[in-house]
Amino acid sequence: MSVLEHKLNADADENAASDMIQYVTVVIGGQLFGLPISQVHDVFVPESVTRVPMSAPEVQGVLNLRGRIVTAINMRRRLHLPPLEDEQMMAVGIEYKHESYGLVIDTVGEVLNLPAASAESNPSNLDRRWAEISGGVHRLDGQLMVILDVDRLLGAMFTEPMAAA
């Protein structure tokens, strides 16, 4: 193989790898969601969450995570799902507009490496609550993974005017 052929093959392999996206999978209310791994900073168990008076209902509170103040967003409340009964919840740490957030979810799954080309737009029958925060879907063996769009999730929460209580 010539040097040029070797270089072209290496470029093709690199392009194939760059067309893959890694997702951290999480489960909320029995539905599989995926967060692009580039947006995930931490996975942790939320402890000592301090409630914030007059905050949005989905804001569970704030907590200290290794010296950073993190706003905990209860994803079950955000999606209008009933609370879990006496189960340990997990959180996924992300950043949005230079602020730290912990998305409180049911469980954390595995990291999936999926082709970017296999992502599809939201199906028309996707639950409206999920569609509001979704950046598309991936069809996996026997299930649908909804791609969490952090901009849609947090942008809508913090740009909508709060009604006076």
- pLDDT-derived band at 81 (thresholds 50, 70, 90) equals very high
Q: What is the pLDDT of residue 11?
A: 45
**Alpha-helical regions (H) of 19-112:** 75-78
Structure tokens at 160: 């909508």
Q: Which CATH architecture has domain 21-159?
A: Beta Barrel (2.40)
Query: Which pLDDT tens digit goes with each residue over 97-147?
Result: 989 999 999 999 999 999 999 999 999 998 888 899 999 999 999 899 999
Per-domain boundaries in the chain: 21-159
What value does the mean pLDDT take over residues 81-91? 83
Q: In what order do the strands lie in the sheet with 90-96?
A: 40-44, 90-96, 99-105, 68-74, 59-65
Q: What is this structure's pTM?
A: 0.81
Q: Which pLDDT belongs to residue 88?
A: 77
